[in-house]
């Protein structure tokens, strides 16, 4: 019976909502969405235009023509000037250099900023002017684009559809509601006909049908009834939610761009938001794929120090971050070495000056930026290894300048400005197995030296003399700090020894078989019995707070993968430096080298055994990095190994390796992939993205080589860095520095996610009256507060979020939009609806509630229900709001006031343009009734009760980490304020003292931190530390 009555009740509401009131919100939704999307597209369009209009020099009909890059066609001949970027894939026909070579950096492709020499096609090398080039007739056949950068390069600009999980679950919820809607309409239609089966019910004498209605076909009638119910109940699917969600996303994204902490002072750039659709995804990231060079590091090698026999030398330019112009040569930190030391020192510097493969670019052919920035001398260095450049430049700052290699003579300008010449006899070039290189030179005095530099592990065993212990400790110390260290050693060869060596080398070089092997053997023979000179430390400067960020991300339960094109050693060092791998991390290697030793199959199985055996006994929390005593695993894999894994096997069981690999990866807290081609990066991202759990992935990178993975991942973040803006342009968000990722994910992501999930659920929850009310209900009475809630809510403070990355796990995995929550909200909605309806029903059933005995009609009934509804829904939101700014106050209370004013107005006047006046005076009449007031208060209390109860109980019994933090913050706050009062006087006194100290500290060149300062003012002390970084000793 109740349901029948209810249906009847709803039937009145219906008046099948006029097309205007139903259509208006829809139109509104579409317009708002269209405007928003259009605006974002326009921004993209502008960016695209900038690229498309980039000028390119073509050779056309024998003339040089300047055109926009978008007019570039296959087969065009392009001229690229120095320091220009290639506009497309090119084949090198000819260069301005006589020998047909050019130096190319592939920074924008693989992140390596080193110069590589390329040779022009032999047949076209001789073409030098436009006419000659124009006469060229040729066809080029080439491979289809390939994943491996080092073989050939494919087109990577493929867009993939993004699928947002929030939208996904939102849409799933919508589908559920749609099903509910349809079944509700069906059930109601059936009930209607059951109820109407008795003719007096269907058509009592007092309420007859019109003629056409009566004549209508039964099925047609049933169908229209069904549709009418659909229209009636369509409010269960909140149309205005889309508007609100869109608005929330759009406006919310501004907070990101407005964030001061994400603004980079150096570059003057703030974060860019290219799409606002993904804001909430930032709160759900499970995997972060990051590029190394330029993302984790600044891609700027810097010579930090050298250590000669335990004495540390620091070049003057970067002396603890301060530029000390008055310092002359070097800053000697330890006492000056004695006589023999002096000699060693000289040798060391010469060794560094000589033992490299750096080429010097002459001044006259250069006028790039680099020169003016980096070297004040008139030459710049080019090398395939940026470390070498850094070393040579560092030595230059220490007084020894490598001038050039001329006719096999290396020229050095020493500290006394004299040119020393060394004859270069042999170069024992670098390889990654030996991890060292040597040169044999003959000084002008006729002495023959062998200088060797290499990784500590490859040098120390070959040293017979020198202060090994001091150097080793220094090297280790530097390595811990994330510096790339190289050891330098030498040995003096007699003429006789040299001729021996020469012979050996000659033989090996001439060998037809196993030449490499023989050479290696010879090198092995030659490079021994060194005298250790010292060590160098070069820093590929990590970006500010990169380690801090990575640590925070790992604590937040996010797995960080580093994908880089760099060499394994370099990459691994960086990973240690940025705390991706920690001291206790057990490194698993899956590299080509290892695969050569064992079969891929064995390696994989071994690894998985190691990982799984350990993990079997542990909970899945292993990755969290929660407890440091737990064994972490770090996996290193290189590009070649990866392509082996990814390659489908002949027998078609390729999934096998992939699965195994995934399994291993999942159990490692950190993964480092080196020697990756851009497409391989994307492959990895895809592999993870499509794995069983469908985790949300984020890719961050700065160069064009990262674009593929940025596009592949759910969320792509570009660093607006040195390697151009390609990544930034193709990304969803662009940030100036890697460190901003922390705030972006942990604070903004968290907020966005909490906000949007609350918003969506709230929308599903609020679902009921008079057509105008009905429309306004969703749009204005209740949307505005949640919108602002959606913009303002900060359930915990931003600082706390940054401090406690583990909170991120509370929201990860779409936790807030899961079914339990969804069912809870739906249940709450149903409960509240029942309370509203039956409460009002019992209140007004067959009775009179006015003091003058007059009766209420159905509109009053509706108004009571609606008032209770509006108040409940708004107060529910108020209960959920943890962060009350004046805007929240304004909007929440304002919407209630607005509701009352609107109701008064709506009922207060006979609206001349309306043909019904049913709401006239209903609201005022209701307000004149005491029981109506009491009833409304009662019903609101009852509807809010379960939610309050649930909140409190959950907080008491099963608090989440977030809630604990909130509670603690509250307690802390209380204590603090109490303490503050008590210690105010004391504090003021200290303030005074401290101020004096600060002035002292500021005026003095040296920093001494007073202990009292330390303990009393931790925050300001921190600031001071930033101003005066303490010296490294």
Partner 1 sequence: MRSVSGAEGGGGAMAVNYSAKEEADGHPSGGVGVPGGGAGGGGAGGAVKTRKPDNTAFKQQRLPAWQPILTAGTVLPAFFIIGLIFIPIGIGIFVTSNNIREYEIDYTGTEPSSPCNKCLNVSWDSTPPCTCTINFTLEHSFESNVFMYYGLSNFYQNHRRYVKSRDDSQLNGDNSSLLNPSKECEPYRTNEDKPIAPCGAIANSMFNDTLELYRIDNDTRTPITLIKKGIAWWTDKNVKFRNPTGDGNNLTALFQGTTKPVNWPKPVYMLDSEPDNNGFINEDFIVWMRTAALPTFRKLYRLIERKNNLQPTLQAGNYSLEIAYNYPVHSFDGRKRMILSTISWMGGKNPFLGIAYITVGSICFFLGVVLLIIHHKYGNRNTSADIPN
Of the two residues 73 and 1006, which places its CB atom closer to partner 1 in the complex? Answer: 73
CB atoms within 10 A of CB 270: 19
Residue numbers 874-903 binding partner 1 by CB under 8 A: 879, 882-888
Residue numbers 772-831 binding partner 1 by CB under 8 A: 792, 794, 798, 804, 806
Cross-strand bridge partners of residue 735: 719
159 sits near partner 1 (criterion: CB under 8 A): no
Of the two residues 83 and 476, which places its CB atom closer to partner 1 in the complex? Answer: 83
972 sits near partner 1 (criterion: CB under 8 A): no
For residue 90, give the DSSP letter. Answer: -
183 sits near partner 1 (criterion: CB under 8 A): no
Residues in contact with 990: Cβ distance below 8 Å, sequence separation at least 6, in sequence order: 1012, 1016, 1017
Contact 418, 410 (CB under 8 A): no
Stretch that binds partner 1, among 147-155, 180-188, 442-450, 521-529 (CB under 8 A): 147-155
Measure the CA–CA gap between 801 and 794, rounded to whole angstroms: 10
965 sits near partner 1 (criterion: CB under 8 A): yes
Cβ at position 253, least distance to partner 1 in Å: 12
Phi, psi dihedral angles at 819 (to 5 degrees):
-60, -35
Measure the CA–CA gap between 335 and 347, rounded to whole angstroms: 19
Of the two residues 96 and 917, which places its CB atom closer to partner 1 in the complex? Answer: 917
Stretch that binds partner 1, among 22-30, 165-173, 595-603, 912-920 (CB under 8 A): 912-920
6 sits near partner 1 (criterion: CB under 8 A): no
Contact 331, 563 (CB under 8 A): no
Of the two residues 341 and 931, which places its CB atom closer to partner 1 in the complex? Answer: 931
Residue numbers 249-268 binding partner 1 by CB under 8 A: 254-255, 257-261, 263, 265-268
Question: Which listed residue (32, 79, 104, 133) binds partner 1 by CB under 8 A?
Answer: 104
Question: Which listed residue (966, 994, 1013, 1017) binds partner 1 by CB under 8 A?
Answer: 966
Cβ at position 177, least distance to partner 1 in Å: 24
Contact 155, 200 (CB under 8 A): no
For residue 817, give the DSSP letter. Answer: G
833 sits near partner 1 (criterion: CB under 8 A): no
Contact 404, 393 (CB under 8 A): no
Annotated catalytic, 732? no
- Please identify which of the residues 225, 291, 566, 706 carries the catalytic annotation: 291
295 sits near partner 1 (criterion: CB under 8 A): no
Of the two residues 187 and 949, which places its CB atom closer to partner 1 in the complex? Answer: 949
Stretch that binds partner 1, among 106-114, 314-322, 335-343, 653-661 (CB under 8 A): 106-114
Residues in contact with 813: Cβ distance below 8 Å, sequence separation at least 6, in sequence order: 284, 286
Of the two residues 105 and 500, which places its CB atom closer to partner 1 in the complex? Answer: 105
Question: Which listed residue (269, 319, 504, 904) binds partner 1 by CB under 8 A?
Answer: 269
- Residue among 434, 501, 489 at smallest CA distance from 463: 489
How do strand 632-638 and strand 585-590 relate by DSSP bridges? Answer: parallel
Stretch that binds partner 1, among 141-149, 284-292, 489-497, 536-544 (CB under 8 A): 141-149
Measure the CA–CA gap between 874 and 763, rounded to whole angstroms: 12
Please, what is the Cα angle at 908 between 907 and 910, to 5 degrees?
Answer: 85
106 sits near partner 1 (criterion: CB under 8 A): yes
Question: Which listed residue (152, 223, 819, 827) binds partner 1 by CB under 8 A?
Answer: 152
Residue 629 CA: distances (Å) to CA of 553, 584, 632, 711, 984: 19, 8, 9, 37, 43
Cβ at position 888, least distance to partner 1 in Å: 8
Contact 153, 144 (CB under 8 A): no
Question: Which listed residue (337, 341, 399, 724) binds partner 1 by CB under 8 A?
Answer: 724
915 sits near partner 1 (criterion: CB under 8 A): yes
Measure the CA–CA gap between 15 and 770, rounded to whole angstroms: 9
Contact 731, 717 (CB under 8 A): yes
Cβ at position 160, least distance to partner 1 in Å: 15
Mapped onto helix, strand or coil, the DSSP state of residue 305 is strand
Question: Which listed residue (154, 386, 785, 829) binds partner 1 by CB under 8 A?
Answer: 154
Contact 361, 378 (CB under 8 A): no
Residues in contact with 1008: Cβ distance below 8 Å, sequence separation at least 6, in sequence order: 1001
500 sits near partner 1 (criterion: CB under 8 A): no
Of the two residues 155 and 1008, which places its CB atom closer to partner 1 in the complex? Answer: 155
Contact 754, 277 (CB under 8 A): no
Question: Which listed residue (234, 850, 990, 1021) binds partner 1 by CB under 8 A?
Answer: 850
Binding-residue pattern over the window 935 to 964 for partner 1, x denoting contact by CB under 8 A: x--x--xx--x--xx-xxx-xxx-x-x--x
Cβ at position 970, least distance to partner 1 in Å: 6
974 sits near partner 1 (criterion: CB under 8 A): no
Angle between helix 858-880 and 2-14 (nearest 10): 90
Residue numbers 451-480 binding partner 1 by CB under 8 A: none
204 sits near partner 1 (criterion: CB under 8 A): yes
Residue numbers 1010-1029 binding partner 1 by CB under 8 A: none
Contact 51, 729 (CB under 8 A): yes
Contact 808, 900 (CB under 8 A): no
Contact 695, 715 (CB under 8 A): no
Cβ at position 870, least distance to partner 1 in Å: 18
224 sits near partner 1 (criterion: CB under 8 A): no
Of the two residues 211 and 469, which places its CB atom closer to partner 1 in the complex? Answer: 211
Residue numbers 369-428 binding partner 1 by CB under 8 A: 369, 372-373
116 sits near partner 1 (criterion: CB under 8 A): yes
Give the count of residues interacting with partner 1 (CB under 8 A). Answer: 163
How do strand 697-701 and strand 715-719 relate by DSSP bridges? Answer: parallel
Contact 653, 682 (CB under 8 A): no
855 sits near partner 1 (criterion: CB under 8 A): yes
Q: Which segments of 983-1017 does DSSP mark as H helices, in order? A: 984-1003, 1011-1016
Question: Which listed residue (34, 64, 84, 334) binds partner 1 by CB under 8 A?
Answer: 84
Give the pair of three-digit tokens for residue 58: 């073509």
Stretch that binds partner 1, among 1-9, 598-606, 826-834, 979-987 (CB under 8 A): 1-9
315 sits near partner 1 (criterion: CB under 8 A): no
- Residue among 938, 949, 950 at smallest CA distance from 835: 938
Measure the CA–CA gap between 878 and 871, rounded to whole angstroms: 10
How do strand 484-493 and strand 463-465 relate by DSSP bridges? Answer: unpaired
Residue numbers 531-590 binding partner 1 by CB under 8 A: 555
Of the two residues 420 and 702, which places its CB atom closer to partner 1 in the complex? Answer: 702
404 sits in which H/E element:
strand 401-406
Measure the CA–CA gap between 712 and 699, rounded to whole angstroms: 8
Of the two residues 500 and 806, which places its CB atom closer to partner 1 in the complex? Answer: 806
Of the two residues 366 and 479, which places its CB atom closer to partner 1 in the complex? Answer: 366
Q: Is 282 exposed, middle or buried (0-12, 13-18, 19+ CB in 10 A)?
A: buried
Residue numbers 661-720 binding partner 1 by CB under 8 A: 678, 703-705, 707, 720
Of the two residues 8 and 494, which places its CB atom closer to partner 1 in the complex? Answer: 8
Question: Which listed residue (247, 552, 828, 843) binds partner 1 by CB under 8 A?
Answer: 843
367 sits near partner 1 (criterion: CB under 8 A): no
Stretch that binds partner 1, among 21-29, 101-109, 483-491, 690-698 (CB under 8 A): 101-109
Of the two residues 330 and 840, which places its CB atom closer to partner 1 in the complex? Answer: 840
Residues designated as active site: 291
């Amino acid at each position: 019976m109740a349901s029948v009555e209810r249906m009847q009740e709803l039937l009145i509401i219906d008046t099948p909502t006029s097309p205007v009131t139903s259509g208006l919100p829809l139109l509104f939704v579409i317009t708002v969405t269209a405007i928003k999307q259009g605006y974002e597209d326009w921004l993209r369009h502008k960016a695209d235009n900038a690229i498309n209009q980039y000028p390119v020099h073509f050779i056309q009909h024998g003339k040089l023509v300047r055109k926009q890059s978008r007019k570039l066609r296959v087969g065009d001949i392009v001229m690229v000037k120095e320091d220009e970027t290639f506009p497309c894939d090119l084949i090198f026909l000819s260069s301005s250099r006589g020998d047909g070579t050019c130096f190319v950096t592939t920074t924008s492709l693989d992140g390596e900023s080193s110069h590589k020499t390329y040779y022009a096609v032999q047949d076209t090398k001789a073409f030098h002017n436009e006419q000659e080039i124009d006469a060229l007739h040729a066809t080029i056949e080439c491979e289809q684009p390939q994943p491996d950068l080092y073989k050939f390069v494919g087109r990577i600009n493929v867009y993939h559809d993004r699928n947002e999980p929030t939208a996904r679950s939102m849409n799933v919820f919508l589908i559920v509601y749609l099903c509910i809607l349809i079944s509700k309409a069906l059930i109601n239609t059936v009930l209607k006909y059951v109820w109407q089966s008795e003719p007096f019910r269907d058509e009592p004498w007092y309420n007859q049908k019109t003629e056409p209605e009566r004549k209508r076909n039964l099925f047609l009638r049933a169908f229209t009834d069904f549709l009418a119910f659909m229209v009636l109940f369509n409010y269960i699917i909140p149309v205005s939610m889309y508007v609100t969600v869109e608005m929330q996303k759009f406006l919310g994204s501004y907070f990101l761009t407005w964030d001061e902490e994400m603004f980079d002072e150096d570059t003057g750039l703030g974060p860019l938001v290219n799409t606002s659709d993904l804001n909430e995804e930032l709160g759900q990231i499970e995997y972060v794929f990051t590029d190394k060079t330029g993302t984790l590091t600044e891609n700027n090698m810097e010579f930090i120090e050298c250590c000669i026999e335990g004495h540390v030398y620091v070049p003057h330019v970067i002396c603890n971050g301060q530029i000390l112009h008055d310092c002359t040569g070097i800053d000697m930190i330890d006492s000056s070495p004695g006589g023999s030391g002096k000699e060693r020192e000289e040798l060391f510097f010469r060794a560094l000056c000589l033992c490299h493969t750096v080429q010097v670019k002459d001044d006259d052919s250069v006028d790039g930026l680099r020169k003016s920035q980096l070297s004040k001398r008139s030459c710049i260095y080019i090398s395939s290894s940026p470390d070498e450049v850094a070393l040579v430049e560092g030595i230059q700052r220490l007084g020894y300048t490598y001038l050039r290699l001329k006719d096999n003579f290396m020229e050095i300008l020493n500290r006394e400005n004299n040119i020393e010449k060394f004859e270069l006899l042999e170069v024992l070039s670098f390889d990654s197995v030996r991890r060292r290189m040597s040169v044999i030179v003959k000084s002008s005095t006729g002495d023959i030296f062998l200088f060797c530099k290499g990784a500590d592990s490859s040098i120390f065993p070959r040293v017979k003399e020198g202060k090994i212990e001091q150097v080793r400790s220094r090297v280790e110390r530097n390595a811990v700090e994330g510096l790339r260290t190289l050891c330098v050693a030498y040995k003096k060869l007699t003429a006789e020894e040299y001729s021996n060596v020469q012979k050996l080398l000659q033989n090996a070089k001439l060998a037809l078989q196993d030449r490499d092997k023989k050479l290696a053997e010879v090198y092995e023979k030659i490079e021994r019995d060194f005298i250790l000179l010292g060590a160098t430390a070069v820093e590929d400067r990590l970006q500010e707070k990169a380690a801090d960020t990575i640590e925070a991300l790992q604590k937040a339960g996010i797995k960080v993968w580093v994908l880089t094109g760099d060499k394994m050693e370099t990459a691994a060092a960086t990973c240690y430096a940025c705390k991706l791998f920690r001291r206790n991390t057990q490194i698993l290697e899956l590299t080509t080298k290892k695969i050569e030793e064992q079969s891929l199959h064995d390696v994989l199985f071994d690894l998985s055994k190691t990982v799984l055996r350990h993990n079997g006994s542990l909970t899945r929390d292993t990755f969290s990095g929660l407890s440091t005593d737990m064994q972490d695993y770090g996996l290193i894999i290189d590009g070649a190994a990866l392509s082996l894994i990814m390659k489908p096997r002949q027998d078609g069981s390729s999934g096998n390796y992939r699965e195994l690999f995934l399994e291993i990866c999942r159990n490692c807290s950190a993964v480092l992939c080196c020697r990756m081609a851009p497409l391989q990066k994307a492959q990895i991202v895809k592999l993870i993205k499509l794995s069983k759990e469908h985790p949300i992935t984020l890719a961050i990178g700065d160069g064009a080589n990262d674009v593929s993975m940025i596009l592949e991942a759910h969320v792509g973040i570009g660093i607006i860095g040195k390697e151009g803006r390609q990544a930034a342009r193709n990304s969803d968000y662009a940030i100036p520095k890697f460190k901003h990722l922390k705030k972006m994910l942990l604070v903004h992501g968290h907020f966005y996610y909490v906000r949007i999930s609350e918003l969506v659920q709230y929308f599903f929850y609020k679902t009921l009256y008079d057509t105008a009310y009905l429309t306004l209900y969703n749009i204005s009475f209740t949307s505005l507060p949640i919108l602002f809630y959606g913009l303002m809510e900060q359930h915990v403070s931003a600082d706390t979020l940054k401090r406690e990355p583990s909170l991120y796990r509370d929201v990860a995995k779409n936790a807030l939009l899961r079914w339990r929550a969804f069912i809870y909200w739906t249940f709450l909605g149903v409960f509240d609806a029942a309370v509203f309806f039956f409460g009002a029903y019992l209140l007004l059933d067959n009775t009179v509630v006015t003091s003058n005995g007059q009766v209420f009609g159905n509109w009053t009934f509706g108004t009571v229900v609606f008032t209770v509804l509006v108040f409940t829904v708004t107060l529910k939101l108020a209960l959920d709001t943890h962060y009350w700014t004046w805007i929240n106050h304004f909007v929440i209370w304002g919407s209630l006031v607005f509701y009352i004013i609107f109701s008064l107005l709506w009922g207060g006047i006979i609206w001349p343009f309306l043909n019904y006046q049913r709401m006239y005076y209903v609201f005022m009449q209701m307000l004149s009734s005491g029981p109506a007031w009491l009833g409304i208060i009662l019903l609101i209390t009852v509807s809010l009760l379960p939610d309050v109860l649930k909140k409190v109980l959950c907080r008491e019994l099963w608090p989440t980490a977030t809630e604990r933090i909130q509670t603690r913050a509250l307690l802390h706050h209380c204590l603090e304020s109490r303490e503050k009062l008590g210690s105010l006087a004391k504090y003021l006194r200290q303030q005074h003292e401290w101020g004096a100290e600060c002035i002292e500290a500021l005026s003095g060149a040296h920093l001494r931190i007073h202990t009292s300062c330390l303990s009393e003012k931790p925050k300001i002390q921190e600031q001071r530390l930033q101003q005066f970084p303490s010296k490294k000793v």
